[in-house]
């Protein structure tokens, strides 16, 4: 049995998409309870309700903000987590290994899940997707790993959680240097091919600390969760996340 929490749609287009997703879920034969989040229905109360009713799978149909918030709260519960992105949200589709909401519905029916780590910032804020430094221009940042300090100029800096070949959960920082003419930007940052190139540096460790001369916001899908200095760590095997066939 599945417990669905639908994010409140903020536009007519998202409302129509939510209706299409709900119809597809019903047509697929997935049994469960469907609740729409609104100001009178608190997320904490909904999670308690799902747990007390004995649901083993909780599904969020919504945006990255709600998905990240729910993922952090699910640490207190033993439920499998499903996600159907409400809209074009690349970070969510990448995380659940699906290319469309239809793929996400199909993945729910198969209910194939993987242990998924969560990112932890300053031991306070938790994220499932990606954390990005809000850099408006090339900025000097100091990266500290295992007592080793490195200062570099970053055009973009993105932090994710990854698994190495041994299956160990790590924090990975992908840092893009100042753009130069003559190549193309890394697809990791969602850039299209053009006449520019930049040096991409990658660091993967259990803990990565980032500092800067002036505080820099750390954003997760446009929501600020911290500011530098920031210490990024990983919570291994934090979630049982339903994933698709992609990857």
Helix/strand/coil percent split, the chain, to 5: 25, 45, 35
- Say which residue the tokens 């879920």 belong to: 25
Q: What is the mean pLDDT of each run of 10 residues along the chain (247 residues)?
A: 92 94 92 86 92 96 94 94 94 94 95 94 93 93 90 93 87 84 51 57 92 94 91 94 83
- 2-117 and 121-236 have identical folds: no
Confidence (pLDDT) at 181: 55
% pLDDT > 90, the chain: 74
In the chain, domain spans: 2-117, 121-236
Confidence (pLDDT) at 190: 54
Confidence (pLDDT) at 184: 46
β-sheet bridge partners, residue 43:
none
Please give the structure tokens belonging to residue 4.
């669905």
Yes or no: domain 2-117 corresponds to CATH 3.40.50.360: yes
Q: How far apart are CA 169 and CA 173, in angstroms?
A: 13
Q: How far apart are CA 232 and CA 109, in angstroms?
A: 34
pLDDT digit string (tens) for 156-174?
999 999 888 888 899 999 9
Q: Is the dihedral of CA 47, 50, 54, 60 positive or negative?
A: negative
Yes or no: domain 121-236 corresponds to CATH 3.90.1300.10: no
Residue 96 φ/ψ, nearest 5 degrees: -95, 5
């Amino acid at each position: 049995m599945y417990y669905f929490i639908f994010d409140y749609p903020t536009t007519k287009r998202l409302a129509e998409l939510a209706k299409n997703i709900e119809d597809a879920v019903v047509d697929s034969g997935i049994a469960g309870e469907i609740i729409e989040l609104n100001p009178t229905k608190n997320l904490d109360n909904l999670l308690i309700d799902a747990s007390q009713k004995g649901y083993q799978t909780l599904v969020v149909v919504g945006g990255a903000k709600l998905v990240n918030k729910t993922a952090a709260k699910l640490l207190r519960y033993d439920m499998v987590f499903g996600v159907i992105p409400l809209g074009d949200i690349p970070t969510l589709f990448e995380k659940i290994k699906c290319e469309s909401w239809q793929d996400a519905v199909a993945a729910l029916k198969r209910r194939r899940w993987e242990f998924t780590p969560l990112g932890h910032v300053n031991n306070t804020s938790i994220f499932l997707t990606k954390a990005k430094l809000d850099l408006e221009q090339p900025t000097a940042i100091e990266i500290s790993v295992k007592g080793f300090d490195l200062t570099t100029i970053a055009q973009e800096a993105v932090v994710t959680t990854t698994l190495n070949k041994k299956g160990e959960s790590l924090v990975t920082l992908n840092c893009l240097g100042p753009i130069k003419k003559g190549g193309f930007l890394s697809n990791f940052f969602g850039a299209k091919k053009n006449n520019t190139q930049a040096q991409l540096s990658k660091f993967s460790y259990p803990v990565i600390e980032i500092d800067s001369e002036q505080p820099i916001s750390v954003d997760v899908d446009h929501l600020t969760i911290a500011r530098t200095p920031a210490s990024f760590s990983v919570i291994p095997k934090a979630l049982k996340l339903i994933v698709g066939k992609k990857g």
